[in-house]
Amino acid sequence: MAKVMLGESEKWFIIHGIQDDMRNDGRSCEDYRHIEVETGVVSNTHGSSRLRLGSSELLVGVKVELGSPDPKAPNEGLIHFHVDCSPNADPSFQGRGGEDLSANISCILTRIYCNKSSIDLNTLGIIPHKQCWVVHVDVLILECGGNLLDAVSIAVKAALHNTGVPNIQVTDGDEGTQEISLPDDPNDVKFINTVNAPVLVTISKVGSRHVVDASSEEELCCNASLVMGVTKRGRTTGMRKMGGGSLDPESIPEMIETGKNIGRQLHISLDKLLKTEQGMAEDIEKAGYL
Per-residue pLDDT at 279 exceeds 70: no
Q: CA-to-CA distance for 5 and 244, rounded, in angstroms?
A: 19
Asked if residue 258 has pLDDT above 90, the reply is yes
Asked whether the beta carbons of 162 and 47 are under 8 A apart, the reply is yes
Q: What is the pLDDT of residue 4?
A: 63
pLDDT for the residue numbered 33: 93
Give residue-wise pLDDT tens across range 111-122. Answer: 888 877 888 999
Range of the structural domain that residue 72 is part of: 34-281
153 lies in a domain?
A: yes
Whether residue 201 is contained in a domain is answered as yes
Query: Could you tell me if residue 102 is inside a domain?
Result: yes
- pLDDT higher at 179 or 77: 77
pLDDT tens by residue, 144-168: 888 999 999 999 999 999 999 998 8
Question: Does the residue 125 lie in any domain?
Answer: yes
Residue 175 lies in a domain: yes
In terms of Cβ atoms closer than 10 Å to its own Cβ (0-12, 13-18, 19+), residue 189 is middle
Any domain includes 86: yes
In a domain, 119, yes or no: yes
Distance CA(39)–CA(274), nearest Å, equals 8
120 phi/psi in degrees, rounded to 5? -75, 95
Sign of CA dihedral 33, 39, 43, 47: positive
Contact in structure between 226 and 249 (CB atoms under 8 Å): no
C-alpha neighbours within 13 Å on the C-beta side of residue 120: 6
Tell me the CATH number at 252.
Answer: 3.30.230.70
- Asked whether residue 2 is domain-assigned, the answer is no
Mean pLDDT of the chain: 88
The reported pTM is: 0.89
pLDDT in tens, 210-239: 999 999 999 999 989 999 999 999 899 888
Structural domain count of the chain: 1
The pLDDT tens digits for 87-112 are: 777 776 776 767 888 898 999 999 88
Q: What is the pLDDT of residue 290?
A: 44
